[in-house]
A and B are shown apart, each in its own frame.
Chain A
């Protein structure tokens, strides 16, 4: 009697996959462009790695990788996707950029990509749909069954500030420095179905919850929940959605490797018992990470102590090192530790560029040059 839509497809061996929402810019003033349809059309003409899809407004595209088990194959595929997308964008004189927000576009200029689903979202959420022109990275981690997925979701919730602080790349919005490292998540919070997965532990309970919500007529599918971490039963994965899209695909792959190693540690060692208190502190910790990035402070529900996010991440990198080694992610996480130690992160990079150039148009341009790599230099 269970809905096939909610049946949890088992995944093996801590598989991972990445989705990136990307910015399409024009090449004159580097504002957001509206050429998603042309870009998708051009990409479809030729075979390309991964999948490319439209997103809510005409200024965005989403790229998906296939399923990976190791960081090195993931980053290789991401680089191939990047080169293909960048080359196609170059032919249309467009630019593609990473980053969680566009620094200066005005949301009133945005137009909804004309599919039934997106039109429906505009109808339901009004202006929020256009403000939803923000860019996230979603990381899927494969789980053996639904119960494990729910355990992983509750355990990972403790580490959500890590993901936010490590990926934060949306300090500017609508032409202003927001003072946040990640301003993107504030936009997500406006949606009524955002938030966290309910505190249930068995997949059966989750199905009951979902059916109840569907019975109320609030949701039709899992897609209607905009939770920070949500189960994706048809893929057999847990989907972490709090990452800002990093400025480079290399960084995106490193962040995925971090999530994968952490998940392996949590699922195999089961070091944490799911705790309601994690959700009591959740909004506070999430805010700290958004506002201050790695310099923020989180309250650990387990030790009941205040800890700096930077130190907490560095500690965790040591704890999960054996799992990273098993997954072939030692080098990637070493890179991450070096970046943290050196204070290199995307939000800081964006602010530095603004300080040196004095123009957000230049920031957007440099953002796109960083993401596209060599695609713009003539052959």
Chain B
């Protein structure tokens, strides 16, 4: 062989660590540029970097690389959904029943508005229903990260996060149940029709439940040591993500259930409120860069018009749901409108749900993509700005430290 066989062979074989570092730094740079020059949320910068590097831009991140990076996306989403789940407080919903009603109304009305609008414009009922189900969810990642970046705190922030948690659950349950219809449409056996949603919902909830039980027991054993609990929770999150992935379950529903259960079943208050978000930040950057890379501007060109209808119907549904009941719930006048704005983002979650529903039937996915993905493309860019505006206007952002 040659005298230089110690040198690597070109092109370099794919290396996950290298990919992670590159995505992280590129996203980070984009986020800082956008924040410093345009005063926009950093997330918008991460997504723009993804768009430039991805399918719509230079194509540096192709389908294969995006697939490789899926692992980081899953961990990032897992952390976010766990944190989101921990915000969902059943006690609050019992004490402020108008707020609970708002959550239901907002999810239900946006679903029906989207379905109605899409059906009106001639979209096949099955496509319209699945798209509407996916649209019920607000992007937890965007709302949580913008709130974290602004260090926002207050009624609009807390209520937005609780509504997001509830509409995410609603969207999951709807989309998963719709799998039966999908299987029926593609003439799968009735056993598949029934067992697939049951397996997904039951299995994911079980993982979340078991993980929370284990986390609570471990926390009791560790005691109130913040740094130890942080490591333990991160380990448990990654483990749950891995289990859900390996078992073909929903990573998102599992982790959301994990979060909700560890908030509401921890009667002894053994778990501490550790700040996972700071460590999670590195995964969040990669999450948004990859999301941007997957999105294709071509989808927007073909599906832009119907996507606008979809977005508008979604906003109207959510707005009617929130505004009609805002007066009865314990918030200040004006906060209702800001809450509506904070519910606009769509993001990686929607993409994951779309893949989850359509992976078995690619042709169905191909028809759904122009609607859902072009909406995601638009809302991924506008959403963070809307949330930032809402939280700032509500006076819930901390003054930015120099």
Residues on A facing B (Cβ under 8 Å): 26-29, 33-35, 37-38, 41-42, 88, 90-93, 109, 111, 357-359, 361-362, 365, 376, 378
Contacts and interface: CB of A to CB of B under 8 A. Distances in A.
Interface in B57-99: 86-87, 89, 91-92, 94-96, 99
Nearest to A87: B95
B95 A90 contact: yes
B355 interface: no
Given A109-B398, A365-B269, A378-B91, A93 B96 contact: yes
Contacts of B335: 38
Given A28-B87, A38-B155, A91-B330, A359 B95 contact: no
B331 interface: yes
Q: For the complex, would chain B's binding face be called helix, strand, loop or mixed by DSSP majority?
A: loop
Contact of B92 (A27, A109, A365): A27
A17 B395 CA distance: 35
In the complex, which range does the number of interface residues on chain B fall in?
20 to 34
A167 B250 CA distance: 54
A361 B396 CA distance: 22
Nearest to B90: A378
A378 B95 CA distance: 7
Contact of A26 (B86, B153, B396): B153
Contacts, number: 59
Contacts of A90: 95-96
Query: Which of B95, B273, B329 has the most CB atoms of chain A within a 10 A radius of its CB?
Result: B95
B138 to A, nearest CB: 19
Given A29-B273, A361-B273, A91 B154 contact: no
Contacts of A26: 153, 158
A93 B158 contact: yes
A344 B270 CA distance: 27
A144 B273 CA distance: 53
A27 to B, nearest CB: 7
A361 B95 contact: no
B202 to A, nearest CB: 28
B330 A34 contact: no
B212 to A, nearest CB: 16
Contacts of A358: 223-224
Given A362-B224, A378-B95, A35 B330 contact: no
B279 interface: no
Contact of A27 (B89, B99, B154, B155): B89
B330 A42 contact: yes
A321 to B, nearest CB: 43
B272 interface: yes
Interface of B: 86-87, 89, 91-92, 94-96, 99, 153-155, 158, 223-224, 269, 272-273, 329-332, 335, 396, 398
Contacts of A27: 89, 91-92
Contacts of A38: 154-155, 330-332, 335
A188 B87 CA distance: 36
Given A26-B158, A37-B332, A88-B330, 5 more contacts: A34-B154, A90-B95, A91-B330, A92-B96, A378-B91
Given A357-B224, A376-B91, A92 B330 contact: yes
Contacts of A359: 224, 272
B272 A361 contact: yes
A369 to B, nearest CB: 10
Contacts of B95: 90-91, 93, 376, 378
A144 B95 CA distance: 47
9 contacts: A26-B153, A26-B158, A33-B154, A35-B154, A90-B95, A91-B329, A93-B95, A359-B272, A361-B272
Contacts of B330: 38, 42, 88, 91-92
A299 B63 CA distance: 82
Nearest to A376: B91
A362 B155 contact: no
Contacts of B91: 27, 93, 376, 378
B332 A93 contact: no
Contacts of A41: 332
B381 to A, nearest CB: 30
A88 B398 CA distance: 25
Contacts of B223: 358
